[in-house]
Amino acid sequence: MLDFGNFKTRDCENGIGRRSFLKTASALPFAFGAGYGGLDLEAARKLGDRAKAKSVILLWLWGGPSHIDTFDPKPDAPMEYRGPFGVIPTKTDGLQVTELLPQLAKRSHLYSVIRSMQTTNGGHPGAGTVGLTGYEENPTVHPNFGSIVSKHRGRSGALPPFFYLGQGIPRDLPRRIEGYGGGTLGKAYDPFLVSCSENGKVGIPTLDLLSGMTPNRIHDRRRLMAQLDDTSRTLEGAGVAGWNQAHHAAYGLLTDPKARDSFDLTTESQSTRDAYGQTSFGQSCLLARRLVETGVPYVQVNWSEYVETFTPNGDFGWDTHIYNFELLQDRHCPIFDRAFSALLDDMNSRGLLEDTLVIATGEFGRTPKISNRAAREHHKDCYFSVWAGAGIQPGRVIGESDKRGEHPVTEPITPLMMGTTIAELSGIGARERAEMNVLDGGKIIHELL
């Protein structure tokens, strides 16, 4: 089911309006910028052949999930630390998880867990940038790992190389994160935003320019371009500069059958769709699988747009300053457990795990000591990440936290190391990274490989 803004699946007489164009033009750098300029596709293809990971799926658990209540339980810690949940065994020696993740426990042979993640920033937007770029926001915003892969791989066919699946750029109430996109590589490598509802309805919110358009009229390319050109001449501002590339991208996306099909979850069997769960996150994970299946190099599935877990108009992020135990038990973990398990099963049965890297993590963990509100606060010093697929040795526990889950007792593994490992597995070696001037000083997490 497709919902490109107000794009209609039936013919009608309405054409594109100036107002809708203006709205879209202002959003262009984000909406359309994913790597359309001057890419050496042949070179990218050769490098891709060498890489273990043809694609990457990052499940971005925005808000900071509790490591103790999920993948790093501490059943022997004092009561004010350990939390209320029991622990269950997995198929991996040395790996217990909490009872909130029964499905993932059964699939631990498909993934490895890092329990010694550590970041440098304890606030959401800042830690989000570190988590997605490897560096603090200041003084320079570095590129998202997906933007690096996007630049390296380039675009193949109508689909952009770097997708964000979610409602918007991850943010907290005050502001969005800065490291969401191209950073020093430029807006051209920003992600392409697509939303996916719990019913699998796919939307591209920023394509509201197509309000009233129909397939027949979109196929009338010259007419569309003429309309857009007429409209663009009346506009000023930076957003218009990228329009030429952008409308080609939008046009290609909407008119290329393969591209359109990749968004149509109704072509999946009902049992497959059911397996992922009737949730926005679950169906987004299914959409991510379809996108990598068609060759998209990097897909970031955002758990939520807002970090806040209980706030008016918020969409229930993992920032559980209140209701940590209730929401993890009743909502977040069941959704995550089902969707991630289905993704692993689906990818594995289709052979996609061979050359797709799948990672699940947030920007930090949560305080091991339970707060006065019977919840957990931000904790940058120790958290988890889960790795599966391309080149990753599954069934391992990497790194160790102390008895209370407060600090790693092994070498801390950082977001920069995460990004460097993603790059390396994507065929972006040290030389290529240096040429792009990205991930400087980053080390590969060899224990994963």
Residue ranges binding other proteins (CB under 8 A)? 75, 79-80, 82-88, 99, 102, 167, 173, 197-198, 270-271, 273-280, 282, 308-316, 321-323, 325-326, 329-331, 334, 338, 371-375
- Whose Cβ is closer to other proteins: residue 214's or residue 324's? 324
Which positions ≥6 away from 428 have C-beta within 8 Å?
A: 47, 51, 148, 149, 152, 436
Strands 356-361 and 55-60: parallel
3-state secondary structure of 379: strand
Of 136 and 346, nearer to other proteins (C-beta) is 346
User: DSSP string spanning 352-363?
Assistant: GGGTEEEEEE-S
Identity of the residue, 12 or 173, whose beta carbon is nearer to other proteins in the bound complex: 173
Q: Between residues 162 and 276, which has the closer beta carbon with respect to other proteins?
A: 276
Alpha-carbon torsion (183, 288, 161, 429), positive or negative: positive
Helix (H, G, I), strand (E, B) or coil at 263: coil
Cis peptide before 125 (omega within 30 of 0): no
Up-side HSE of residue 47: CA atoms within 13 Å toward CB?
24
**Which pair of structure tokens corresponds to residue 372?**
């006065």
Q: Is the CB of 138 or the CB of 271 nearer to other proteins?
A: 271
* Calpha distance 412→67 (Å, rounded): 15
Q: Which amino acid is at 255?
A: T
Rounded to a whole number of angstroms, the distance between the first and last alpha carbons of the chain is 38
255 versus 311: smaller Cβ distance to other proteins: 311
Cα–Cα distances in angstroms (integers) from residue 350 to residues 268, 345, 346, in the given order = 13, 9, 6
- Work out how close the CB of 286 gets to other proteins at its nearest, in angstroms, rounded to a whole number: 11
C-beta closer to other proteins: residue 215 or 314: 314
192 sits in which H/E element? strand 192-196
Could you tell me the smallest distance in angstroms from the CB atom of residue 312 to other proteins?
6
Query: Residue 48 is encoded by which pair of tokens?
Result: 């891709």
Give the strand pairing for 383-389 and 96-98. unpaired
**Residue nearer to other proteins on the CB measure, 273 or 290:** 273
Cβ proximity to other proteins: between 54 and 74 the closer is 74
Residue 441 neighbours by CB distance under 10 Å: 9
For residue 388, list its beta bridge partners.
Answer: 111, 358
Q: Which residues pair with 14 in a beta bridge?
A: none
Q: Which is nearer to other proteins, 88 or 225 (CB)?
A: 88
Q: Cβ distance 55 to 357 under 8 Å? A: yes
- CB closer to other proteins out of 138 and 313: 313
**Residues forming beta bridges with residue 69, ordered by sequence position:** none
DSSP three-state, residue 220: coil
DSSP state of 371: P
68 Cβ contact partners less than 8 Å away, ≥ 6 residues apart: 74, 77, 81, 82, 83, 365, 366, 368, 376, 405
